[in-house]
Chain A
Amino acid sequence: MVSTKKPTIKTIRAEFPDPLSKPATEGMLISPTTIPEQPPVPSVVESSPEPSPENRVSDSVESLNAQIEREQLLLEHDRIQRLSITVQGDEQKLRDLIARRDALVQGEATPESASASASESESESESEPTSSPVLGHETISRAPVSEHSINTSSEQSIESLEPESVKETLVLTLQEEAFSARREMIAFRHGKKVADLTPEQRAQYKQLKETSQAKRKVWMAELDKLPEEQQDKLKELTKLQEVRDRLETMTSEQVVDQALEGTLESYRDELRTLEAQIQEMERLIRYDKDTVRRVTALGNEDDLKTLRSRRRSLVAKIASMSAQQATSQSSTTSTSEPGTPVISAAPAPEVAPSAPSVVAETAPRPMLDYERDRAEAKASRLELLRASMSEVDKRILAKTLERDAFPAWNVIGKMRAENERNRLLDEHRRLDREMNERPGFGAKFKEAAAKAYRSVKSRLKFERSRPVGIGDLRGGPEIVPPIGESVEIEGGAEGEPVEPTVESKGSRWQWIKQRLMGAGTAGWTEFRPARKFQKETKEVGRDVASFARLIQKERDLPYDEAEDEAHKIMDQMKVEGIESSEDPRFLELSAEITERKVIENDAKIEEIVVAAIDQLEERLKQYKGRSGEDMLTEENKSKIATEMRTRLVSLRSGHAEADVKELTGVIRGNFDKNWKRRYFYALIDVVLWGLLIKYVAGKLLAGKAKEMVATKAGGVATKEIAQETTTAVLKDTIWGEAERQLVSHGVANPTSVQIQQVALKFAQDSGVKVVAKGGELLWPQTAAGVFKDVALGKDFLIHMAGGLKEIATIKTGMIAGAL
């Protein structure tokens, strides 16, 4: 079914010779077997002398013979290729040609009749190529060329007479060739390194490049000749497959029909112009005959004759071509009966999602193309909705104006307009709802893209961090190692050991410094990084476990997955037309699925590992080890990557499941296995701080307590003294009394100073002036006293209140000093 399309393309291609004149062996798609040699086409502008009727008949017969020969060849080819439709058409055409030739040979077309309707017979013989548009093997461009060869009055080129569809087909064919050549060049380049190219390969590449460029040039040149609108339409086809699809939709029947239609139209135009010219000429001749310019009239009559002849020819051609068109339409209809394969079976992209054709089912298009078609259909629908909305808005406005234009008394008219307006408003709301449907693939799509983006970014970062010299560019060792290996060889180029940096390894001093810092901050600088490490590694582990669920099971499949896989295999077998599950193809398909899974899993695992490393770099950028050293070294990264890869690979079995704890353990163990000690150090720091605080607080509290006790003791003494008698009878001297009082109040051995302090108070309170025997004043504080100490007699009443207070003060001081 599909093969019926091929001759269509080939035919079209054959109709347009390769502009580069390359032989078919140089990657051209045109098969030599399908392209019979074209009969020579008469020149467009060639103005040959009018042939005699005999010559014309013989020429026609020769031309017919050549065409018959060609048709026979084509017919044979189509029979071999089992192209039933074209065979039917060709047979019909062949019969027509033979009949015409026989008629000419048998003298039905006499010289006279040929002479009488020379242009008519010409038009018939020359319009033959387009007489059976279904045939598909006719030269499309020949019809207008041959027709035009007799039109010596006009110098129009072939292109000017070609209808748009023919030009479009030509450009499409060139576009396909240009894209094809480009694809070949890219395919040649793919996976090759410049350094490994042999001189022959280089020459071959250059050849391919030149071909591609030349073909592109030719295509662009032809494209520029098209109207802008058509150019834009063709430029939208950016993929080879799109161009091919488009070409397949343009069957030769359509092209020929359109060509015929275009030619007919051009003849009609010409006829109209001729009519006008003839009328003008007749008017001129009449004028000339009526005046003295008879000679001019004679010359004009010849011209008129030519014009009339041309008109007759055109009328005949138009009639003939109209009849052919009708025939071709009927034959096209008959070929597209139910059950007959239709050549233009390829559906238009816009309709594909809603109504996939039989061809699409038997040869399913890639799902991505399907999604693309759906997206484009959605966009077109949205565009239509917008246009509809705009139209509805216009109508609403018109209806509103119409309603308002009704006079007040015309209630029915008003109501009718109002009802219509309401209906339009309903429609407007409906369209609005449909248009407001949220576009896009959604948040998950965004997340997936962002994840892939980060993953590749991180890989590129890895790769770019390596020094790249011109030697690399010139084909030295591979710049970009595979992702899996990149982590491992990151450490140094060509296996050189990494120079330990100052930060990379901690020294004893650094360790002490870190601990001191921890002690200084009460363990904060120990606790915080440990907590962060714990939290972030857990997050990364969780992410890895989450992504690891995307790894497909390759063996020991769970029941549901095994069932799915079996269904897939059976579906594929159905597509391939295999019914029995005993067929060895079953195992092959199973192996294919597993192989695909292995490839996908490999890619997925690498992606997960790289993403995990990337995340660790991001999240633990500032993390330092116990001794302040950098922990995210290339060595550690490599260890993490290796071990994580091992764990992830084990998930390919149906028995294993991703475990967050295990994966987190892998990360922590390889990143910083002593990370827990940080918590211990923090604990020690906290304990130390507690002890310090206790000590300081104890000291402070003890001081306060002493003060309080002393104050309290003093208060008690004062109270006791106050309760005693404040007067006493002098027994000997004031000094002696003061000493006795001190002793009696607990000051066992009072000093002279203490005695003097108390005695002084006694003397002051009792109004006694203390003088020596010579009358000298001993204590100036007692100068205001009346009695003299030395002269005091026994039983003198001494007031002791002040002295006893002084004793209490002395006692408090003594207690405080003792504490």
Chain B
Amino acid sequence: MSQTTEQLAVRIGELLAESSLDQKIKDVILERLDAMPEDLVFRLKDALEGEQEELEGVIFDIELFIKEQDERWAKLEEDQQKAASSMADELFEKLKDHPVTSVDAPKDETPVQQP
């Protein structure tokens, strides 16, 4: 067996192990790999590589999505925090400027007109 063929065999073994194919199918393939027509072996390799590539792409995109979503949530949280904080500050300022007076106290001190 030439080095190239050995490399091909190793590659197929690796790809099969990493593949999400059903175990039974994998077993059947491994069992019959010695007598499988060569062109089919190459097609198998292509298909497995394609599968791996696609999965890697999807996983990368999923990870990216999760990361971005987390960041968005973090940003939203921060914004809300900021908004709440500014509202509280505003309210505090208002309260500071206009302290709460007693309920009984008149709302405005209109001078009583002397008859």
Contact = CB atoms under 8 A, between A and B. Distances in A.
- Decide whether A and B are members of one complex: yes
Interface in A439-481: 439-446, 448-457, 460, 470, 473-475
A202 B64 contact: yes
A450 B13 contact: yes
Contacts of B14: 452-453, 455-456
Interface in B1-33: 1-14, 16-18, 26, 30, 33
6 contacts: A189-B57, A367-B4, A449-B16, A452-B9, A453-B26, A474-B63
- Identify which of A209, A370, A439, A449 gathers the most chain B CB atoms within 10 Å of its CB: A449
Interface of A: 186, 189, 194-195, 197, 202, 205, 209, 238, 367-368, 370-372, 374-376, 378-379, 382, 438-446, 448-457, 460, 470, 473-475
A186 B57 contact: yes
A189 B60 contact: yes
The secondary-structure label for the interface of chain A is helix
A197 B18 CA distance: 26
B79 interface: no
Contact of B38 (A375, A456, A473): A375
Contacts of B60: 189, 194
B55 to A, nearest CB: 12
Contact of A446 (B2, B34, B62): B34
Given A456-B18, A474-B67, A186 B53 contact: yes
Nearest to A452: B13
Contacts of A442: 1, 34
Contacts of B8: 368, 371, 441, 445
A445 B38 CA distance: 11
B42 interface: yes
Contacts of B39: 372, 375-376, 378-379
A475 B67 contact: yes
Q: Which 6 A-B residue pairs are closest in the complex by CB-CB distance?
A: A452-B13, A375-B38, A456-B17, A448-B9, A446-B34, A453-B13
Nearest to B9: A448
A442 B9 CA distance: 11
Contacts of B41: 375, 440-441
A443 B1 CA distance: 10
A374 B38 CA distance: 9
Interface residues of B, number: 42
B37 interface: yes
B24 to A, nearest CB: 14
Given A368-B4, A371-B8, A450-B30, A194 B63 contact: yes
A445 B33 contact: yes
B46 interface: yes
Contacts of A452: 9-14, 17
A5 B9 CA distance: 35
Contacts of A473: 62-63, 66
A457 B17 contact: yes
B77 to A, nearest CB: 16
B100 interface: no
A453 B17 contact: yes
A348 to B, nearest CB: 16
Contacts of A378: 37-39
Contacts of B38: 371, 374-375, 378-379, 439-441
B26 to A, nearest CB: 8
B105 interface: no
A622 B73 CA distance: 50
A444 B53 CA distance: 28
B4 A446 contact: no
A197 B68 CA distance: 11
A444 B1 contact: yes
Given A238-B46, A375-B41, A439-B35, A448 B13 contact: yes
Contacts of A441: 1, 5, 8-9, 33-34, 36, 38, 41
Contacts of B7: 368
Contacts of B62: 473
A372 B40 CA distance: 10
B70 interface: yes
B34 A445 contact: yes
B29 to A, nearest CB: 9
Contacts of A370: 4
B30 A446 contact: yes
Contacts of A440: 33-38, 41
